[in-house]
Amino acid sequence: MQLGTILKADAVKSIASCTSKKRLFHDLGELAEASYDLNAVDVIDALIDREGLGPTGVGQGIALPHARMTSANGVFGLFLRLEKPLDFDAVDRQPVDLVFALIAPEDAGVDHLKALALVSRTLRDKSICTKLRANSDAGTLHTILTELEASQAA
């Protein structure tokens, strides 16, 4: 599995301001609807329900919200770069500015876990995070997220 297979270029955005975690989930829902034709309200509800089990802020300014949905027909990624970091109840209590959300089918099983591990591994790379934080252009952000695997495949 590669990020380029689960993250469409139009599922990447830079947002100037986000006032709350709930607003962030609304932004992700709208992005999922526009990019993957998923129902925005269903995505928002699924992300909120999952977040209720425990915060998905993993530290270092990174959040990995994820959810399973019966209406999803594949594993889909959404990436938001926040210009103004947002309190996300992260494990290190630091605000979040890089958000990579995953939506997977209810029966995704190991594919959902593989995607989550891949995203986590990618965002643990400090040089990638530095590049993501230094750029606001959506196309550039998508390239940064997918270039490492492309160069490894060559």
Q: Which residues of 75-114 are buried (b: 16+ CB within 10 A; e: fewer)?
A: bbbbbbbbeeebebebeeeeebbbbbbbbbbeebeeebee
Rounded-to-integer distance, Cα 135 and Cα 151, Å: 20
Check 26, 66, 112, 142 and give the catalytic one: 66
Token representation of residue 123: 């965002």
142 catalytic residue (yes or no): no
Catalytically annotated residues: 66
